[in-house]
Amino acid sequence: MHVRDAKPQDLRPVYEIAQDSFKDPYPLRLIRHIHSTNPEGFLIAEIGGSIVGYLIGVVRWGNVGHILAIAVDKSHRRKGVGTALMINALERLRKHGASQIKLEVRASNEGAQKFYERLGFESQEVVPSYYSDGEAAISVKYKFD
């Protein structure tokens, strides 16, 4: 498996993974827009020529890295793909000036919460009604040493 920058032709498989992974996936148009405005934060994990996961990260306000999305194809989960994407993203965001990384995760998404905890993220606060269906988010933060 290797992690690399996303190319425009990767965005349809990204969209398919998003649709299979999220209740409220980004539309393909939005994925294309994010890629065109933030290509350096858009990462792909590839195995044998197939896209098996992606991550979108940005740096905001100068020093806060934000992970907008991470997902791995269902049949490739629990094999270290998400960890490889996140480690690559943490390094990149740090190089782009981030001193901390934030993201939000659905309160019901215990698997992802365990994934972030294992990577060293810490839960910060519950954000009520963060998602459009009314579910709360837990915001989590990673601080570089």
User: Which positions lie near ligand COA, rule CB under 6 A?
Assistant: 21, 70-72, 77-83, 105, 109, 111-112, 114-115, 118
Min dist CB 21 to ligand COA, Å, is: 4
Nearer to ligand COA, 3 or 98 (CB): 3
Min dist CB 46 to ligand COA, Å, is: 13
Measure the N-to-C terminal CA separation of the chain; round to a whole number of Å: 28
Which DSSP symbol is given to 3? E
- Residue 96, classed as helix, strand or coil, is coil
Cα angle 84, 3, 9; round to 5 = 135
CA atoms within 13 A on the CB side of 125: 4
Separation of alpha carbons 103 and 67, rounded Å: 5
Q: Which two tokens stand for residue 5?
A: 């920058």
Nearer to ligand COA, 38 or 109 (CB): 109
Nearer to ligand COA, 37 or 83 (CB): 83
Min dist CB 131 to ligand COA, Å, is: 11
Nearer to ligand COA, 35 or 53 (CB): 53
Min dist CB 28 to ligand COA, Å, is: 17
Separation of alpha carbons 55 and 128, rounded Å: 25
